[in-house]
Structures are given as structure tokens and as C-alpha cells.
Amino acid sequence: MEIINKYFSDFTPKQQQQFEALEAVYKEWNEKINVISRKNIDSLYEQHVLHSLSIPAIADFPDGNQVLDLGTGGGFPGIPLAIFYPNVQFHLVDSINKKLKVVEAVVEALGLENVTTQHTRIEDIKNRKFDHVVSRAVAPLKDLWFWSKPVLKKSSPEHWVNMKHGLICLKGGDLGQEISESGTRPMLTEIYELFPEEYFKEKYVVCVPC
């Protein structure tokens, strides 16, 4: 938790309590259903929570926004974002139901009222639009963008600079070929510039406006 407070200092007491509670809840549930590699569960706050919070470090979700976490896995980046933005609604989806059992347990333990879950694939979500889709290392950018476009609200070009609507994903490594194959022109932010920790070298926040 110390590494979170190193970069964020304006949490409410409730948010601070919720972030602090994450470790115990995840360690308990990870023993039952392995959703986080056991070799880095002790690095939960750096490698999972702070990594997720690189999104609000460069983008803002206004109150009332609807955000879909595609392939949420154990709840990242969705759960840290839901704590960070208590007035934004987060819909966490995954095709593997047992992972969502952990997510739902964490949501209940933390008392998060702005999170819903759904056992589904994003391509099966119909008649619902979101302001943003967020994702972490789920698939190539080409696929993420293909899946996300149908569920994203549209924004006019003048709003693109403010990333009013779009896909925000966390990725690492050399993204040149992946971006080229996606046919998109994303905005990239190197996370190491936000959080100068060794773990974040060659990791990026990738934003594709819609």
C-alpha cells in the first residue's frame, strides 16, 4: 500500500480503507482460485493496483460515466478504478466464470456499489453502450478495438484530445507491429514516466479514441 500512497495522496478515508483491504481479500481468495500468479501476489499493489491506476493518471472519467472492463480476470484494472472513481459505474466481464467469483467476493468485501459483473464475451453484449472500455493484456490491439467499437459511444473529433470516449488498455513491450496491424492511431503513454519504478519500464497506457 505504501507504493500507492507514494503517487496518490488525496484519497478519502473510505478509499484508503478499501485499497488497504485489497491485499488480505485477494490473498485469501487466491488460495482458493488462482487468479493472480502466486509468485507476484506479494507485489499486488505495484504490479496490479498501481498498474491499474496508471489509467486515471492520464485520463479522467467524469461522474456518471459507464466503463466496461474487458476480460477483467481477477478484477484488474476494474476494481482499483472503481475505488478511485466511486461515482462511475464499472461493468466487469470475463468469459471464465470462476474468475468472476473472486471479483464478486472482492466487490462484496469492499462494499463497492458501483461494480456489476457479467459472465460473457464482449461480442455478446447487445443494446448497451459505454463511455470507455478498459483492458489489461487480454489480446492484440486489433482484436480489442474490433470487440470494443460496437459497445462504445461515439465522440466528435474535437473531443478526441480529451479522450471523451474510447478504448484504454495496458500493454507492454514493442507495440509497433501490433499498432500497425490494428489500423488505429493510438495515444501512448509510457507508465515509467508516470511511476518511475523498474517494473513499469516498457509498459504503456494505450488510448484509442472513438
Annotated binding-site residue numbers for S-adenosyl-L-methionine: 71, 76, 122-123, 136
CA-CA distance, 93 to 84, in Å (whole number)?
19
| Residue 167 identity (one-letter amino acid) | L
Beta strand segments in the chain, E: 66-70, 89-94, 115-119, 132-136, 166-172, 187-190, 203-209
Q: Which residues are annotated as a binding site?
A: 71, 76, 122-123, 136
Helix 97-110 and helix 13-32, axial crossing angle in degrees, nearest 10: 140
- If DSSP codes are grouped into helix, strand and coil, which group holds residue 165? coil
